[in-house]
Amino acid sequence: MLVVRVAVLDKERCRPKNCSFICRRFCPPVRNKIEAIRI
């Protein structure tokens, strides 16, 4: 069974300069070298 996860990022709250990119660290495609999140 394939589980699809969708992350919804609020652009108003996304602060890449003050963040450790937790959305990237926990995203399964990104961990497998597939571009899924672009900031």
State yes or no: pLDDT of 8 exceeds 70: no
| Residue 2: per-residue pLDDT | 67
| Residue 30: per-residue pLDDT | 73
User: pTM, whole model, 2 decimals?
Assistant: 0.39
Phi and psi at residue 17, in whole multiples of 5°?
-75, -25
Average pLDDT over residues 2-18: 72
Determine the Cα–Cα distance for residues 36 and 23; give it in Å rounded to an integer. Answer: 10
Q: Model confidence over 12-27: pLDDT tens digits? A: 877 777 877 777 777 7
| pLDDT greater at residue 39 or residue 9 | 9
Percent of the chain with pLDDT over 70: 69
Place of tokens 């602060």: 15
